[in-house]
Chains A and B, each alone.
Chain A
């Protein structure tokens, strides 16, 4: 079996949309994927669509803006919020003069509501424009949280039904073209190995494939406990015996702590393995497992650790 090259993997499509439920580390995975791709020599652009995430702070960069900025070697980032995309669209379609007033009067909200998914279409339309300009080798979109991610991706198809004429319809059909072409766009779903997040990921995966027609890349299972280097007993007496065999003294309290911690890890690990296996059964997609980082909040050093892990996991995927 030919191993997968990282650069090859990261060039599978021009756009990768990273989606997952809140709290599973979607933004962390976005950042780690960017670092991985950048290390293999690709230029990366991250688009953050909710306007507020820990992305910039993970790179120790200032808060992101609608204008792109370099946040690390080979990585640029920008926000792509619906409101800004709407104003951008109006201004570039001959409505510069009235766009501000429309926004302040609330009339824009009325129109955006009248056309469901219009804001999503404008965000994705902008992604499409960036992709066509080849703004970067890889564009990574940090998508809205899970339930909203489906609506976000389905919006283009829905809009084709709702609006029969005009530039918005054209925009929607261009977006559908982008989303349904696996060489241009794929979705990477993120979860943690726990029951509820796994269930939600499976639902989201089917909804995205059936209703949006977007290709799914590998699933990222984030926060997996690494296996310990050697087996550890989970009761205090056995810990005491180990110490005895080594002619060491371990106090009762310490033995209990060592055993309790080992038991907790073993129990969680068991759940994690079960859930990752269940996910594999429910969803026949390759999994990239990322380790749980015990020691620190996500910063640049942690992103490098995760990028190392991602690189190893990608190398284990079969080449296409």
Chain B
């Protein structure tokens, strides 16, 4: 199995990893390759860097897929005609809004919820809402049948795997016993609710003000009858995540903290009975030979000690020092990547070098792709 195989055979690829490891770029490269293999591919991204967003034609938030002109990603016309490339930048709130509209019994019920202040906070701020909506969007795109390959870039949070739990978290919120009691008709709740709940409500009202409680009560009342729809949907999303055609791509960088996070993610995925199908190590410094840094440093020191031609000796010494610097980086990176093979399990590993230039256009995405889709022996070489 290679990364190329994943791009050719999987229906959904979910890219996860901590911040600053090149997750968004990798997701774009995977979708691009999918399109070049003749698949209808889309990258769903959360918060791309501005110039990458421009490259992908995502100058503003848009809830619908934007097709990227063929002339931009297939300059030499080598891709099969069936190949298409689209991109979508997730808008959490409008995705949530359309979900509410879908499951509301009446327009009036939908409107009541959309205007509720508590809902507006939930849709924008509840931990995990962004993750949940990313999964919701994934489900919608998958259902539409418009795409053969959907590559999802997950939100750059510390808890980047929250999307695995996200559907259930919302259900837990809707299921909350105390707030179910609040759905009783106005004022009646104080009579029906137990003493503990009343005490709770009074205390909360004292701390945050009673209008907050009223908003919450109004929200849960407006939501009544819609839980079933959300529950069905959450189950469908979980099923899609567990489907064999869905693959998880773990992205990391050769830094101790990033690798620690990768181990943590891999464990979380295993807890959810998901396997890491590909592990991509980005930003690996290039290697220039394999001499020991100590030997190079010794040569630099010896050159500096030379009497006579100081300018040339200083230059050559600096050259050896510089090479030693990069060999030290390579050694440190290798050390930080110890155990990475086990982390990937049976999954494929690919190494992408830290490039001398920044990545913004299709040309640079191609450069990355060249390494990502390198033949296995090249990977083994990079790993060595």
Contact = CB atoms under 8 A, between A and B. Distances in A.
A95 interface: yes
Contact of B332 (A24, A98, A113, A295): A295
A106 B176 contact: yes
Contacts of B2: none
B180 to A, nearest CB: 11
Nearest to B258: A23
A107 B208 CA distance: 14
A196 B208 contact: no
A106 B208 contact: no
Majority-rule SS of B interface residues: helix
A238 B325 CA distance: 20
Nearest to A226: B325
Interface in A218-269: 228-233, 239, 242-243, 245-246, 248, 250, 253-254, 257-265, 267-268
Nearest to A107: B178
Contacts of A264: 286, 288, 326, 356
Contacts of A232: 315, 318-319, 322
A199 to B, nearest CB: 6
A109 B312 contact: no
Interface residues of B, number: 79
B253 A23 contact: yes
Interface string B177-198: 1110000000000000000100
Interface string B301-342: 001001011011111111111110110110010011000000
A58 B262 CA distance: 19
Interface string B71-94: 000000000000000000000000
Contact of A163 (B47, B208, B253, B336): B208
Interface string B119-136: 001101111000000000
Contacts of B293: 295
A183 interface: no
Contact of A257 (B258, B260, B289): B289
Interface in B146-174: 156-158, 172-173
Interface residues of A, number: 77
A264 B329 CA distance: 13
B315 A294 contact: no
A120 B153 CA distance: 26
A84 to B, nearest CB: 15
Given A107-B179, A246-B313, A258-B323, A165 B256 contact: no
A82 B178 CA distance: 22
A182 interface: no
Interface string B1-18: 000000000000000001
A118 B208 contact: yes
Interface in A182-198: 194-197
B367 interface: no
Interface in B175-227: 176-179, 196, 199-200, 203-204, 206-209, 211-213, 215-216
Nearest to B256: A297
A168 B208 contact: yes
Given A106-B172, A147-B156, A246 B212 contact: no
A167 interface: yes
Nearest to A115: B208
A231 B326 CA distance: 17
B326 A114 contact: no
B286 to A, nearest CB: 6
Nearest to B206: A166
B360 A107 contact: no
Contacts of B176: 105-107, 110
Interface string B97-119: 00000000000000000000110
Interface in A97-133: 98, 102, 105-107, 109-111, 113-118
A78 interface: no
Contacts of B122: 113
A296 interface: yes
B49 A246 contact: no
Nearest to A159: B208
A239 B319 contact: yes
9 shortest A-B CB distances, which residue pairs? A23-B20, A22-B19, A230-B314, A267-B356, A22-B20, A196-B49, A257-B288, A257-B289, A294-B325
Given A168-B209, A261-B325, A296-B332, 14 more contacts: A107-B176, A110-B178, A113-B118, A113-B173, A145-B19, A147-B156, A167-B207, A200-B49, A229-B317, A246-B306, A257-B289, A265-B326, A268-B356, A297-B336
7 contacts: A107-B176, A162-B212, A166-B207, A228-B318, A258-B323, A262-B322, A265-B322
